[in-house]
Amino acid sequence: MASTSKRSKYFDNAKFILIFLVVFGHLISPLKEQDGILFTLYTFIFLFHMPAFIFISGYFSKGYNKKGYLLKSIKKILLPYFIFQMIYSIYYYLNGQEARIEIDFLQPHWSLWFLLSLFCWNLLLYVFARFRWIGFCFAVCLGIAIGFIDGVGSYLSLSRTFVFFPYFLLGFLLNGDHLKKALRSKFSVPVGLVIILGTFLSFGFSFPDNAVPWLLGDTSYSNMGQEEWSDGLFRGLQYMLTLIVVFGFMTLIPSNPLKVSEIGERTLYVYLFHGFIIKSLEVAVLDKNLIDFTGHYLFLIIFSFIICLILGSYVIKKFTRPLVELRI
């Protein structure tokens, strides 16, 4: 991470690995209840992969107060959200998942919550960035407090917007020197390995089956079970664990250019289009046949990797750029 080019490749490599984890996590989601290893992989991935993605997004949002930034955010984030919200509404109707076409921009389809929340996080910077670390502490408090509001959920992606905002704000607050000192110290890699392996093994032995909604951050405490004051404390501990694992993950990312680095520049394409492949597979393969794919771990990994290679290719970008970036 010493130079600009290496720093760029570092984040491209990180984004590729994270988008692979997104695809793999969504692919194994219907299978996790029938396979203990897949359940552990799913819970471990969902603990940190979106927080890490959001952290990186915040890191690259430092120019929020520059002229034209808000307009650029509307064009690159909000307009694609509206476009793909309509496309997914039509798609769900055509594949039989919905009885009729209903286009509701206030209830994001599946993974589109990220675009809506990302736009909101950029807006929140105008308020929170000026307060720096005091603003970060307040963002954490909001992320904890939002869970006590019973009606909060996927509407306008409100729950996830506030639950995940601290990761975005932290990425914004940290600069390259901070990251270099933290991620490239003498003991960073060994510590990162211990964190990743220790967390994975502990999840394999002790993660509760009913605690998955805590990782998603898309609903209130009461909707996840009996609401108690200690739920706020639990989310605070979850923030700490997640940040530790994100740190462990980021210490292991190489800075040198890889063959997949360029796909790290096109993760939005993979993110927006992989749902059509996975949802089509879920419709094509009946629920009773899904169990046939459990245990085929290598196949699931390779298939997820191939999805990333195809959707992150230049060819896909060339022909879908008008939809994703509103550019020809």
pLDDT for the residue 96: 81
CA distance 47 to 109: 21
How far apart CA 126 and CA 178 sit, in angstroms, is: 22
pLDDT at 109 over 80: yes
Question: Are the beta carbons of 249 and 192 closer than 8 angstroms?
Answer: yes
What range defines the domain where residue 282 resides?
Answer: 4-324
> How is residue 231 written in tokens?
């739920």
Number of domains in the chain: 1
Instruction: Tell me what pLDDT residue 3 has.
Output: 42
Q: What is the mean pLDDT of residues 160-172?
A: 98
25: left (phi over 0), alpha (psi -120 to 50) or beta: alpha
pTM, full prediction: 0.94
The percent helix, strand, coil of the chain (3-state, each to 5) is 80, 0, 20
Q: Are 213 and 235 in contact (CB under 8 A)?
A: no
Q: Half-sphere exposure (CA, 13 Å, Cβ side) for 18?
A: 28
Token pair in block for residue 69: 């930034």
Q: What average pLDDT does range 189-208 have in this prediction? A: 96
